Structure 1
């Protein structure tokens, strides 16, 4: 499989956008708007998610907190606001106790990939979701590999795994589907998925 991803093949390591997370209780949390500067170049470049019929569902559980969501988030041609609110909490920045309206196309990417893997009834473990600019800046100050314009800050990215499934298999399929960005972190056993421009590493 050499050459499937950048950096001379399969690249191991921590997500360049992420760092250690602290534990913060799930309670009423403040919300931020999306980062317009990051979205401007990303939204138009994102590939469309394949049609999934009348409903779209997702099963996710947050690492560390065990917060979870399991159910339909899109029905009758529109996103379910309450389901999205619950997902925002699951994907929150744990270190800052802060949520943002996640881009629902990220959930479409995850749902589509799970469906294509015949894993719609399995639960994604979310390692990292939204990152505040402060969290990202802190990570960037500690590592040259941290992007200062990370899509995690726009609620457009997640680092995740499907327990019992190969991260390599998940990354390969997601990359072939060309729904957005895909990064494989084989050493830690997770995959970065986003709904931004199609790319891989």
Structure 2
């Protein structure tokens, strides 16, 4: 015989469960409000629409970029193409369209550190062949690295300790952060917030 469900047989309709859900929703709304208050002012400026600029120097090639890459609510295509070249894989002489969110991560971190120096880029885009060769040389190189997707960079900021850069970026939770203290650089990416 088929059983007829009463409203209270459904856990979603149970007043106790419904009450808990409201408490959880209220808590999440409060957490979102608290998070918005704790995001550093300069990180909030990204959402506010202020122009974003970077100073980049590629260690291996000497290529550089200094300028605005985002203004008036949009990315500057010419600036992005220039950045693609600077972040390209020098060992394969290959470029890829970099994810512009990576530039936003770099911009935000530099601003939070009040850094005026150019980022020194040790590694930007990596062709799959380059990444595979590095992964064979070191266990620290991921075989599925975001470098191959144009979403990551290994960088230094002259005048800033790598530990300080990593700590600031990790506190902001705007992407992945890897500290390579012995090598003197920090991995920053625009993937999910995580650290190593």
Q: Please, what TM-score do these two structures have when normalized by structure 1?
A: 0.73
Larger radius of gyration: 2
Q: Determine if the alignment matches structure 1 residue 68 to structure 2 residue 64.
A: yes
Runs of 4 or more consecutive aligned structure 1 residues displaced over 4 Å after TM superposition: none
Runs of 5+ consecutive residues of structure 1 not aligned to the other structure: 1-48
Match of 2:45 among 25, 44, 51: 51
Matches within 5 A, 1:128-147: 128-147=123-142
Runs of 5+ consecutive residues of structure 2 not aligned to the other structure: 1-42
Alignment RMSD, CA only?
Answer: 1.2
SS in structure 1 at match of 2:121: strand
Matches within 5 A, 1:95-174: 95-119=91-115, 121-174=116-169
Aligned length in residues: 152
Q: Distance in 2 between matches of 1:64 and 1:141?
A: 21
Q: Determine if the alignment matches structure 1 residue 185 to structure 2 residue 173.
A: no
Matches within 5 A, 1:13-32: none
Q: Please, what TM-score do these two structures have when normalized by structure 2?
A: 0.75
Higher relative contact order (CA 8 A, sep 6+): 1
Deviations 1:65-119 (A, max 9, x none): 1110000000100000000000000000010000000000000000001111111
